[in-house]
Amino acid sequence: MNVAIFLAAACLLLTGCSGPQSALNPAGSQASNISHLWWVYFTVTAVVYVLTMLFLLLSVRPRQPRSTNLEPITTPDPHREGRVLVVIGSAIGVTTVILFVLLFADLFTTRALGSLSSVGTNALSIKIIGHQWWWEVQYTDPVPSNYVTTANELHLPVGKPVMVQLASSDVIHSFWVPNLHGKKDLIPGHPTTNWLRATRVGNFRGQCAEFCGYQHAQMRLAVTVDPEDKFNEWLTAQKQEAPQPQTDIQKRGQDVFLSTTCVMCHTIQGTPAFGRIGPDLTHIASRPWLGAGARPNNPATRAAWIQNSQHIKPGVHMPQHNLPAEELQALLNYLDILK
Ligand code: CUA
């Protein structure tokens, strides 16, 4: 039974370790340092645990039954006393050494985590703002019109240091992409920065790591690490304004968007929609998820989300819309071109 539980736990650990949301499957220089530290702690504590259990078992093993007559009290054997002192002294010495090893491993890791911040101006600068319950991601640029704003997705070039500026619009959130870096809080009124560098391409998942209300669990971030040219391609596409509607139904859809409450919360670059409460929808159709990972992003889930987002993500700040079927269809056709 115990063996079965152990094997199940080992399988879970190994499959979980290699996933897109695992601190033990590092794809970033910060995460590598953290996972090395984790393995040092794991190995040391596992060895200590096994040794402790071994000595415990030895001490409680069955012995020969003693005779009922009490043994006569004898004077302590000085040799035996000396041996006991040596054993206890060595155990204390070894424990102290182990604690110092862990302390220094911790200090070196903390130092290594801070070392990226010395790379200077070559770094990419990204601003991430936490909202209940979604991520606003801005790629800053000296030219304001080149700013890119997206939501719940983070694209990074492989190998390049990134300075992430963190802020919150409401409560404390925590930015964590386990494969890339350690946790960092987003504190209202107190911007912070975190440095990271992805070391291999791939798709990873981030998750808010600080309880921030009802839908804290549905506050995910899709992370894509690409070669630099592919990343630049993506960034250039995101800098474009939204495509203009071509067909009648797309034009009707844009009218619906601009004449209903959508426009009060959302931005679509290239239109009069400049709402700042909800996610920027300029390139909504190119994103993998809806509602910060609540659903995959496709026309069917977009329809369900518009009509009744509360059903999908209870408590979300997006109100329910009861659009007539014709208006909804037109709106979906319009949103579909926002790639
Ligand atoms: Cu945001 Cu938890």
Res. 329: pLDDT tops 80: yes
* Segment 31-42, tens digit of pLDDT: 999 999 999 999
Res. 7: pLDDT tops 80: no
- Ligand 1 contacts CB of residue 209 (under 6 A): no
- Ligand 1 contacts CB of residue 175 (under 6 A): no
Beta strands in 141-180 (DSSP E): 148-151, 153-157, 161-168, 173-175
Res. 4: pLDDT tops 60: no
Q: Which of 225, 216, 140, 234 is nearest to 171 (CA)?
A: 216
| 42 token code pair | 């794991």
* Segment 113-129, tens digit of pLDDT: 888 777 666 788 999 99
Res. 21: pLDDT tops 60: yes
Query: Do 207 and 220 meet the contact criterion of CB atoms below 8 Å apart?
Result: yes
Q: What pLDDT sits at residue 66? A: 63
Compute the distance from residue 177 Cα to the ligand 1 centre, in Å.
13
Q: What pLDDT sits at residue 254? A: 93
**How many angstroms separate the CA atoms of 104 and 264, rounded?**
53
Percent of the chain with pLDDT over 70: 91
Sorting pLDDT into bands at 50, 70 and 90, what band is 1? very low
Ligand 1 atom at minimal distance to the Cα of residue 133: 1
Q: Kindly state the average pLDDT of the residues 191-198.
A: 92
- Ligand 1 contacts CB of residue 173 (under 6 A): yes
* Segment 248-278, tens digit of pLDDT: 999 999 999 999 889 999 999 989 988 999 9
Report residue 167: phi and psi, to 5°.
-145, 165
Q: Pick the residue with more confidence: 236 or 63? A: 236
Q: What pLDDT sits at residue 3? A: 47
Res. 6: pLDDT tops 70: no
Chain-wide mean pLDDT for the chain? 89
* Segment 137-160, tens digit of pLDDT: 999 888 888 889 999 999 999 999
Q: Kindly state the average pLDDT of the residues 232-242.
A: 92
Residue with tokens 């302590």: 76
**How many angstroms separate the CA atoms of 339 and 337, rounded?**
6
- Ligand 1 contacts CB of residue 134 (under 6 A): no
* Segment 170-180, tens digit of pLDDT: 999 999 999 99
* The model's pTM: 0.84
Ligand 1 atom at minimal distance to the Cα of residue 209: 2
- Ligand 1 contacts CB of residue 136 (under 6 A): no
* Segment 281-318, tens digit of pLDDT: 999 999 999 999 999 999 999 999 999 899 999 999 99
Q: For the chain, list the domains and their CATH numbers.
A: 1-54+87-228 (2.60.40.420), 248-336 (2.60.40.420)
Q: Kindly state the average pLDDT of the residues 161-166.
A: 93
**How many angstroms separate the CA atoms of 28 and 201, rounded?**
10
Res. 17: pLDDT tops 80: no
Q: How many residues does the chain have?
A: 339
* Segment 67-93, tens digit of pLDDT: 666 666 677 788 888 888 999 999 999
Q: What pLDDT sits at residue 122? A: 75
CA-to-CA dists, residue 197 to 123, 225, 292, angstroms: 10, 10, 23
Q: Kindly state the average pLDDT of the residues 319-335.
A: 90
- Ligand 1 contacts CB of residue 332 (under 6 A): no
DSSP string, 256-303: HHHHSTHHHH-B-TTSS-B--SS---TTGGG-SEETTTTEE-SHHHHH
Compute the distance from residue 135 Cα to the ligand 1 centre, in Å.
9
- Ligand 1 contacts CB of residue 155 (under 6 A): no
